[in-house]
Amino acid sequence: MTYALARPRRLDLETFARAAGVHPELPRRLVVLGALQARTDPSGTLWFEESELRAMARIQRLRAGFALNYAALGLVIDLLDRIAELEAAARTRSRPAGGTPWISTG
């Protein structure tokens, strides 16, 4: 079992938007679409983990590279994450000796 040595730093909506270089309405919309994760305190303030800045940068790169709306980007991100999981699982599986497992010999 592992324990965090310190609490992860949380960013409110304004601070998060400023750090990401976007208007505060965009992260709010992305939370509603499920593309970003945030917590809401009892007063209704959105709080983001610092790691969500990486997710926001990824969304911005995908949006700039492809002509997709933000709802479609959520699907693309889910698919990319699934591909990464499958590739990681394939790497950890033991490979048969003497050849590449995806090439047919017959």
For the stretch 13-71, pLDDT in tens is: 999 999 999 999 999 999 998 899 999 999 999 999 999 999 999 999 999 998 888 88
The arrangement of strands across the sheet holding 39-40 comes to 10-12, 46-49, 39-40
pTM for this one? 0.72
Give the DSSP H or E segment for 62: helix 52-65
pLDDT of res. 67: 86
